[in-house]
Structure 1
Amino acid sequence: MSKKAIVLQTTLELITTQGIAATSLSQIIKKSGVANGTVYHHFKNKDEIITELYLMLTQDFGTVVMRNAPEDDLKKQFTVMWLNLFYYFVNNPLAFIFSEQIARSPEIPQTLKDEARQYYNDIQDYFKKGIKAKVFKSYNTLVMEELFFGNVVSLVKIHENETVKLKEKHINQAIEISWRGFLKDDTIL
């Protein structure tokens, strides 16, 4: 792992456990074991580290969701997208915590959030395609994306809390419930 990657990983670990405000650059340097000069070679300050981390993880989310999603079948694509995000979060708990606690934080400036939206273009295009095909209700695609993510996040939380031992049938039920929420009332698929 490169020194820059170590700094980013350390920052992720610190801010997901104690928050952005409580994480100082000196803590990042100390915990990462990377020399001051090396950190400053890659980043001017803590904000620059957080910006890169935020953009990197947002890009990961957008890329992972669309991985191997078949383009010819909206429902199959939805299922693959849903499972991709679910298993990404299950297998990357720090990314999950980051997305829940930090990425939605007011400490992340709106300009950065707006810049990161580019990584969700394929997801937005998917919902636009479903609307155009008259499969999905004609809702705001940002609302649709957030509801899609929210459905996945809800099941990840159940998984993380282990209050219910999730089985494949529970995951499939969650996907079906989520899918039906987007369908036009007269659509049968």
Structure 2
Amino acid sequence: MNKKSIVLQTTLELITKQGIQATSLSQIIKDSGVANGTVYHHFKNKEEIITELYLMLTQDFGTVVMRNIPEDDLKKQFTIMWHNLFDYFVNNPLAFVFSEQIARSPEIPQSLKDKARQYYNEIEAYFRKGIKDKVFKSYNTTVMEELFFGNVVSLVKIHENENVKLLDKHINQAIDISWKGFLRD
């Protein structure tokens, strides 16, 4: 891992544990083990590190969701998209915490959130196609994306609860419930 990646990973670990405000640049430098000059070579300040981290993770979310999507079958596409995001969050708990606590935080400026929307263009196009083909209800696509995301997040939270053993049938039930919520009457 290169030094820039180490700084980003350390920042992710720190802010998911203690929040953005409680994470200082000096702590990032100290915990990463990267020299001051090296950090400042890559980033001007803590905000620039957080901006790059936010954009990087947002791009990951958008890319992961649309990975290995088959052509011309909205239901299969939906199922794979759902599994892709669920598996990503289960296997990347820091990314999950970041998406829940940090990415939706008022500490992330709206201008950065707007810039990151570009990484969801394929997801938006998927919902637009479903609306155009009269498979999905004609809702705002941003609302649809957020509801899709929220359904996955809810099941990840159940999975994280040690008292609940999620089986494949439960995941498939959640996907089916989610899918039916988008379908036209």
| Pairwise TM-score range, normalised by the shorter structure | over 0.9
The aligned counterpart of 1:8 is: 8
Matched residues in 2 for 1:173 and 1:154: separation?
13
Cα-to-partner distance string for 1:33-90 (whole Å, 9 max, x where unaligned) = 0000000000000000000000000000000000001121000000000000000000
For normalisation by structure 2, the TM-score amounts to 0.99
Distance 1:153 1:132 in 2: 27
What's 1:51 paired with?
Answer: 51
Aligned amino acid, residue 31 of structure 2: K
- In the TM superposition, what is the alpha-carbon distance from 1:164 to its structure 2 partner? 1.4
Structure 2 equivalent of residue 24 of structure 1? 24
Query: Which residue of the partner structure matches residue 176 of structure 2?
Result: 176
2:115 — aligned with what? 115
Is 1:132 aligned with 2:159?
no
Query: TM-score normalized by structure 1?
Result: 0.97
Question: Could you list the runs of 4 or more consecutive aligned residues of structure 1 that deviate by over 4 angstroms after TM superposition?
Answer: none
Where does structure 1 lack aligned partners over 5 or more consecutive residues? none
- Is 1:90 matched with 2:80? no
**2:149 maps to 1:149:** yes
The residue type paired with residue 33 of structure 2 is G
CA distance in 1, matches of 2:164, 2:180: 23
Mind listing any 5+ residue stretches in structure 2 that lack a counterpart?
A: none
Q: Distance in 1 between matches of 2:86 and 2:71?
A: 20
Partners of 1:121 and 1:163 in 2: CA distance: 37
Identity of aligned residues (%): 86
1:88 and 1:170 map into 2 onto residues whose CA distance is 17
Write the distance in 2 (CA, Å) between the matches of 1:158 and 1:6.
Answer: 31
